[in-house]
Amino acid sequence: MAVKPVGLTGGKGVRVTGDQLTAEAAVDYVREAGYDEWVVEERLVGEEFTVQAFVADGEVRTTPAVQDHKRAYEGDEGPNTGGMGSYSDTESTLPFMTDEDYDDAVAVVEAVVDALPGYKGVLYGQFMLGADGPKVVEFNARFGDPEAMNTLSVLETPFIDVLTAARDGEPLPQLDFSGEATVCKYAVPAGYPVEPDAGARIEVDASSVGDALLFHASVDQREDGLFTTTSRSFAVVGLGDSVAAAEADAEEALSVVDEGFHVRHDIGTAELVQSRVDHMRELRGE
Ligand code: GLY
């Protein structure tokens, strides 16, 4: 089973039995965490992915699938975080999914929009792709973090056109994407998320990341520069004509990041992406 408090938990509230804890420990977590209401759900096994969409007046414009990495340490070990990084491919799908899987997820997003006739804004659908296709993990009325950085970095349609069309009640523009793969990696304070150590100087700036993009997150701006807080510090997004090329771009941008930070260097690597593909093949009995 999966348990989650009803309320905002910074993306870190879910506990999954059999993976992170026993059923008894889940009961203790519920008793001790101090929330009045809880969601208890089926434990879903598979590969997670996100589909974000722009929505206005019943119209939906979906964006390519992205895979986030919630666990703090390489190999998907350690505690849940707000998200350590994410990748997207040159097409709308990810390497472990079929076109049909993506279309099934989009159909769910469209059904949710049908059920919310007045909704205007970004819709974030998170899915678990299992042997029976995608199942909903959660929906949010916001962008995903870090997924927004993957998606908006390859959106060629001016974002402002989407926003003004939604505001003015006009048809949303069709979305064009650059067709590049993206790999986003967060640099977080050492010890994050359990005992984060704030105060490390952030040396990275837009001029030091080469072709990659730099997004600051939680930083402490002092007279003598930027320093870490106890939350995720900054992310770099590499772009390329394959996930591997985008990953290399992101890693190059991170080459100046050293002491005081933790990065999941495995995100977007050929080895980790292949392990996702193998996992899906195993679940599908292929
Ligand atoms: N990537 C997880 C979230 O934005 O909720």
86 and 182 housed in the same domain = yes
210, 215, 217, 222 alpha-carbon torsion, rounded to 10°: 60
Nearest CA to ligand 1 atom 3: 144
CA 126 to ligand 1 center in whole angstroms: 8
What does each of the 286 residues of the chain score in pLDDT, given as a tens digit? 888 888 887 767 888 887 667 888 888 888 888 888 888 988 899 999 999 999 999 999 999 999 999 999 999 999 989 999 999 999 999 999 999 999 999 999 999 999 999 999 999 999 999 999 999 999 999 999 999 999 999 999 999 999 999 999 999 999 999 999 999 999 999 999 999 999 999 999 999 999 999 999 999 999 999 999 999 999 999 999 999 999 999 999 999 888 899 999 999 999 999 999 999 999 999 9
Verify that 109 and 184 share a domain, yes or no.
Answer: yes
Q: Which of 68, 123, 267 to mutate to test the pocket of ligand 1 (most atoms within 8 A of CB)?
A: 68
Residue with CA at minimum distance from ligand 1 atom 4? 144
From CA 152, how far away is CA 141, in angstroms rounded?
17
251, 100 contact by CB (below 8 A): no
Looking at residue 276, which CATH number applies to its domain? 3.30.470.20
What are the residues facing 189 on neighbouring strands? 261
**How many structural domains does the chain have?**
2
In angstroms, the Cα distances linking 56 to 62, 112, 117, 167 are: 12, 13, 9, 8
- Do both 36 and 160 map to the same domain? no
- Residue 258 Cα to ligand 1 midpoint, Å, equals 26
Q: What is the CB < 6 Å shell around ligand 1?
A: 11, 68, 83, 140, 144-145, 147
Beta strands 225-228; 234-240: pairing state: unpaired
22 and 86 together in one domain: no
Q: 215 and 271 in one domain?
A: yes
Same domain, yes or no, for 119 and 1?
no
Residues 133 and 203 in one domain: yes
Q: Are residues 92 and 225 in the same domain?
A: yes
Tell me the CA–centroid distance for residue 246 and ligand 1, in Å: 21
- Residue 86 CA: nearest ligand 1 atom is 1
- Check whether residue 121 and residue 16 sit in a common domain: no
Q: Rounded to two decimals, what is the model's pTM?
A: 0.92
Q: Are residues 2 and 98 in the same domain?
A: no
| 20 and 33 within one domain | yes
Closest to 52 in 3D by CA, of 118, 129, 147, 136: 147
Q: Give Cβ neighbours of residue 80 (< 8 Å, ≥ 6 apart).
A: 11, 12, 14, 20, 70, 71, 72, 193
Which residue is listed with tokens 């640099």? 187
Same domain? For 28 and 52 the reply is no
**Measured distance CA(261)–CA(258) in Å, rounded:** 6
For 269, the domain range is: 44-283
Ligand 1 center–CA 55 separation, angstroms: 18
Q: What letter does residue 21 receive in the DSSP assignment?
A: B
- Beta strands 2-5 and 15-16 are antiparallel
